[in-house]
Chain A
Amino acid sequence: MNGLDLINRKRMSRNQAILFFLTLTAGIATGLIVYSSATTIVSLLRAATTALFVPLLISLVLTFLLEPPVTFFERKTGNRSLSIFIVYILAGCLLYLFLSWIIPHWKETWHSLQSDLPRYIGQMTGYLRDLVDRLHVQFPFIEAYDIPSRSRALAENFLGGIIIGTPKSALGIGGVLLIVPLFTFFFLRDGSRIVRTCISLAPNRTFEMVHDMTYLIILQLSHFVRGRIIEATIIGVVVYAGLSITDIRYPFFLAVFAGITNLVPYIGPLVGMIPGILIALIDLGLGGQFWWIVILYFLIAQVIIDNFILIPILISRFSNLHPLWVIIAIVIGGKLFGVIGMIIGVPIVSIIKITLIEIRHYRRTFSLIETTIEAENL
Chain B
Amino acid sequence: MDPLWSNFFRNKLEEESLAYFLGTVPIFSDLGKRDRITLESLVHIRTYRQGETVFDEGDPGSGMYIIRNGRVQVFSRDSKGSEMEIARLGPGDFFGETTLTAPANRTASVRALEPTELLGLFRADVLELTKKQPAIACKILMGVTRVISERLQVAGKNLMQLRREHPQIFPDEIVA
The residues of A with any CB-CB pair to B shorter than 8 Å are 71, 74-75, 78, 80, 192, 196, 199-200, 204-205, 207-209, 211-212, 214-216, 362, 365-366, 369-370, 373
Question: B53 contacts A366, CB within 8 Å?
Answer: no
Question: A211 contacts B122, CB within 8 Å?
Answer: yes
- Please give me the 10 A-B residue pairs with the lowest Cβ-Cβ distance, nearest first: A215-B124, A366-B60, A212-B62, A74-B132, A369-B105, A208-B62, A71-B131, A211-B122, A71-B132, A370-B58
Alpha-carbon gap, A207 to B59, bound state (A) = 12
Nearest neighbor of A83 in chain B, beta-carbon distance: B132
Q: How many A-B residue pairs have CB under 8 A?
A: 59
Contact of B44 among A78, A196, A369, A370 (CB under 8 A): A196
Question: B132 contacts A75, CB within 8 Å?
Answer: yes
Query: Mind listing 12 A-B residue pairs with CB under 8 Å?
Result: A192-B128, A199-B44, A204-B48, A205-B53, A208-B55, A208-B62, A208-B63, A209-B60, A211-B44, A215-B127, A370-B58, A373-B105
Question: B52 contacts A204, CB within 8 Å?
Answer: yes
Alpha-carbon gap, A78 to B132, bound state (A) = 8
Q: Which of A75, A200, A208 has the most CB of B within 10 A?
A: A208
Is B54 an interface residue, CB under 8 A from the partner? yes
Contact of B122 among A192, A212, A362 (CB under 8 A): A212
Besides the known contacts A192-B128, A209-B62, 4 further A-B residue pairs in the complex with CB atoms under 8 A apart: A207-B120, A208-B60, A211-B122, A370-B105
Q: Which residues of the other chain, B, contact A192 by a CB distance below 8 angstroms? A: 128
* Residue interface bits B45-57, CB-to-A below 8 A is 1, else 0: 0101000111100
Alpha-carbon gap, A205 to B53, bound state (A) = 7
Q: Which residues of the other chain, B, contact A212 by a CB distance below 8 angstroms? A: 60, 62, 122-124
Count of chain B residues with Cβ under 8 Å from any Cβ of A?
A: 26
Chain A interface, >50% SS class: helix
Q: Which of B59, B60, B62, B120 has the most CB of A within 10 A?
A: B60
Q: Which residues of the other chain, A, contact B105 by a CB distance below 8 angstroms? A: 366, 369-370, 373
Is B84 an interface residue, CB under 8 A from the partner? no
Question: A75 contacts B133, CB within 8 Å?
Answer: yes
Is B26 an interface residue, CB under 8 A from the partner? no
Alpha-carbon gap, A196 to B124, bound state (A) = 12
Contact of A365 among B46, B54, B103, B123 (CB under 8 A): B103
Alpha-carbon gap, A196 to B103, bound state (A) = 21
Q: Which of A80, A204, A369 has the most CB of B within 10 A?
A: A204
Alpha-carbon gap, A74 to B130, bound state (A) = 12
Alpha-carbon gap, A20 to B36, bound state (A) = 60
Nearest neighbor of A207 in chain B, beta-carbon distance: B46
Question: B120 contacts A208, CB within 8 Å?
Answer: yes
Question: B133 contacts A208, CB within 8 Å?
Answer: no
Question: A200 contacts B53, CB within 8 Å?
Answer: no
Is B134 an interface residue, CB under 8 A from the partner? yes
Alpha-carbon gap, A159 to B65, bound state (A) = 61
Closest chain-A Cβ to B131's Cβ sits at a distance in Å of 6
Q: Which residues of the other chain, B, contact A214 by a CB distance below 8 angstroms? A: 124
Is B104 an interface residue, CB under 8 A from the partner? yes
Question: A204 contacts B60, CB within 8 Å?
Answer: no
Nearest neighbor of B122 in chain A, beta-carbon distance: A211
Q: Which residues of the other chain, B, contact A207 by a CB distance below 8 angstroms? A: 44, 46, 120
Q: Which of B53, B55, B124, B133 has the most CB of A within 10 A?
A: B124
Question: A211 contacts B62, CB within 8 Å?
Answer: yes
